[in-house]
Amino acid sequence: MDYNAEFTRSISRPGDFWREKAADIEWIKFPHTIWQAKDNGHGDWFTDGELNTSDIALDANLRAGRGEQTALIYDSPVTNTQQSYTYNQLTDEVARLAGALKARGIEKGDRVVIYMPMIPQAVIAMLGCARIGAVHSVVFGGFAAHELALRIDDATPKALITASCGIEVSKVIAYKPLVDKALAQAKHKPELCVVYQRAEAIANLQSPRDVDWSALVRDAEPAAPVAVKSTDPLYILYTSGTTGKPKGVVRDNGGHAVALKYSMKLVYDASPGDVFWTASDVGWVVGHSYIIYAPLFAGCTTVLYEGKPVRTPDAGGFWRVIQDHKVNILFTAPTAFRAVRKEDPEADFLKKYDIRSLKRIYLAGERLDPATYDWLREHTHLPILDHWWQTETGWAICCNPTGIEMMTTKPGSATMPSPGYDVQIVDIRGNQMPAGEQGQIAIKLPLPPGCLQTVWGNDERFRESYLDAIPGFYSTGDGGFEDEDGYIFVMGRTDDVINVAGHRLSTGEMEEVVSSHPAVAECCVVGAHDDMKGQIPIGLVLIKDGATIDHDELEDELVEMMRDKIGAIACFKRAMVVDRLPKTRSGKILRRVLRQIADGEAYNVPSTIDDPSILEEISDQFRPR
């Protein structure tokens, strides 16, 4: 079947389509009702079905004869450790933790906050919660105590699972003091705190609340998978909200399993036994979906990497992992390869490693700029596939559907809507825009399986955030356009459109121009207030290591390039060379904060920022010249 036929059937006959996909996972009770609408235009999938997510990820692979296949590879250059688990071994570890939690009173529907570094115990904790029907909420290890406390108060967990420390490159970060401070601040007090002790920093435990992980599981009775309803929540994952209060995205069990199993074939063309590496973190949705759940649903071997694309120990780290573990499919964020390209512009490290096992490279999490796309194509000679999705959707809204039909790639495009996603480019009234014209990217309701059900404890906020802006649609908050071939181009958040003398211009389009300069490793363009024109664009530019161009000369060349590619209407006259760009720990540039700095406004230092000192450095550079 070709893509067009698959997509058309998913939109015109969604019940039949998703009933067929649901048959690809093992249910405890197969659903009779495939879709049940709600008043808000969204609804629930597979409402009367019963299953267990841990069973699908683990036990189903044992029943399929994959017990001795490697399920999980842990690779930690920061501790010089490599470890692997077969499906048999991982199932045993998960069942024992699940049994230990159950013995301490954790039951179906209880919440468990997980605050862990990139170690196997994080995977075991998530799957262990799923096994007994507990709802896990993973908070990125190292988040500030205040932010952790906010999430504890919102999720009201019965237990918290953490480790004694995390490691950022060579710096050991003690987690237990952060946890203790968060628990002291939180109004809600979890009954149990499980601590996995790492040799790099041993935590002090406060009895009776705190319990050592090893002691907890030592004599635990393994727990069997508990049947849950398809619509029961699997996890809560917090994403930033405009009010400053995090939004708890709620993911169900049934739709999640069906969608992710389908996506492994559709998007990644992955088969049982493939080595699948997602270079992300379990604190982000990418880690949930494609480090843990989806690869295990598909019977793959998944890689858990505790390191960075550079400095652990060098810009060859990714290539080394691919060689060592015979990785077949790699998925990461563009910012990872921009960091590699900055430090190793000629890809000299790549030449040291054998990456012939690698079939394809997938990128998502932010816009894939053509310069990074071209660099990867030139040096790896592999298909470089962009795809676009969100924390809220949990899997790709748009992709190159390699498992059905490999399409021609277009740099800057995430290709076509995934089957199930009725993606439209609309204006503020919901009217469709002509091909080539930019507008808001919206998804006609209902959303396909795997997307968020609601915001935890706040249906009204769910409607206000996603459904009310364009009636009948889910509002993605992103802007872009569809070309004459049906390819979707995501140009950035709708608030990344600036108004220059009455002309609405995309900063994403300007970034394409800036990043195409041979000396530029990475860039960001933001709009700054201007009394005459409303806003004017300012570029922040990182130069490639080894590039010797004069900064003023670079600025002149970028201004000229912008005039040639977009026109004088852009009024692009300033490009500041910076040492670093402020990013979240997941690699997204903090554009809103940069706009506030550019306008001389007060700003809050986000909890998600990788290094707050960057903001002070950039503030100094924004002083009027």
SS (H, E, C) 203-224: CCCCCCCEEEHHHHHHCCCCCC
Tokens of 7: 């997509």
Residue 382 inside a domain? The answer is no
pLDDT of residue 370: 85
CA distances from 169 to 29, 75, 308, 313, 435 (A): 46, 14, 7, 8, 46
> End of a domain among 480, 513, 536?
480
Q: Which domain holds residue 441?
A: 3-307+387-480
On whether both 542 and 436 belong to a single domain, the answer is no
What is residue 225's DSSP assignment?
P
What does the mean pLDDT of the chain come to? 93
Task: Find the helix or strand (DSSP H, E) in which 615 lies.
Answer: helix 613-621
Q: Which residue has the tokens 């906050």?
A: 113
**Residues near 431 by Cβ (< 8 Å), separated by ≥ 6?**
none
The answer to whether residue 468 is domain-embedded is yes
Helix (H) or strand (E) holding 162, with range, is: strand 159-163
The dihedrals phi and psi of 523, each to the nearest 5 degrees, come to -155, 170
Tell me which amino acid residue 480 is: G
Residue 534: its pLDDT value, please?
74
pLDDT at residue 510 in the model: 87
- Is 333 domain-assigned? no
Residue 431 per-residue DSSP state: P
Please say whether the beta carbons of 366 and 333 come within 8 A.
Answer: yes
Is 228 inside a domain boundary?
Answer: yes
* Helix/strand/coil for 240: coil
Residue 253, token pair as written in the block: 């069990």
User: Same domain, yes or no, for 287 and 431?
Assistant: yes
Tell me: do 474 and 546 sit in the same domain: no
81 domain residue, yes or no: yes
Tell me: do 106 and 24 sit in the same domain.
yes
- Look-up: residue for tokens 């401070």? 181
Q: Is the pTM of this model over 0.75?
A: yes
CB 263 within 8 A of CB 282: no
- The pair phi, psi for residue 189, each rounded to 5°, is -115, 110
From residue 63, give the alpha-carbon distance in Å to each of 297, 299, 351, 566: 13, 11, 41, 58
| Residue 583: count of CB within 10 angstroms of its CB | 19
> Residue 460 in contact with residue 418, Cβ under 8 Å?
no
Same domain, yes or no: 161 and 286:
yes
Structural domain contains residue 341 = no
Measured distance CA(472)–CA(466) in Å, rounded: 10
Are residues 460 and 551 both part of a single domain? no
Same domain, 443 and 558: no
* Residue 308 neighbours by CB under 8 Å, 6+ apart: 169, 317, 339
On whether both 509 and 447 belong to a single domain, the answer is no
Write the CA distances from 209 to 190, 195, 365, 429, 573, integer angstroms: 8, 10, 37, 53, 59
Choose the final residue of a domain: 480, 509, 527: 480
The domain boundary residue, chosen from 448, 480, 512: 480
Based on the fold, state whether residues 576 and 453 are members of the same structural domain: no
Query: Which contacts qualify for 558-566: CB closer than 8 Å, 24 or more apart?
Result: 558/513, 558/514, 558/517, 558/520, 561/513, 561/514, 561/516, 561/517, 562/510, 562/513, 562/514, 565/513, 566/505, 566/509, 566/510, 566/513
Residue 5's contacts (CB-CB under 8 Å, 6 or more residues apart) are none
The CATH number of the domain where 66 resides is what? 3.40.50.12780
pLDDT (0 to 100) of residue 565: 80
Whether 520 and 469 map to the same domain: the answer is: no
Burial profile 35-70: b = 16 or more Cβ within 10 angstroms, e = fewer: beeeeebbbbbbbbbbbbbbbbbbbbbbeeebbebb
Q: How far apart are CA 497 and CA 112, in angstroms?
A: 39
Q: Is residue 242 packed enough to be buried (19+ CB in 10 Å), middle (13-18) or exposed (0-12)?
A: exposed
Distance CA 237, CA 216 (A): 26
Residue type for position 178: L
Domain assignment present for residue 284? The answer is yes
CATH number at residue 516: 3.30.300.30
Q: What is the Cα–Cα distance from 388 to 60, expressed in whole angstroms?
A: 29
Give the Cα separation of 585 and 275 in Å (integer): 25
Q: Give the list of residues 6+ apart from residue 12 with CB closer than 8 angstroms, or none.
A: none
Residue 225 counted as domain residue:
yes
Same domain? 469 vs 506:
no
Q: Which amino acid is at 384?
A: I
CB 195 within 8 A of CB 205: yes
Number of domains in the chain: 2
Enumerate residue ranges in the chain where pLDDT < 50.
242-243, 625
Answer whether 343's CB lies under 8 Å from 316's CB.
no
298 in the same domain as 154: yes
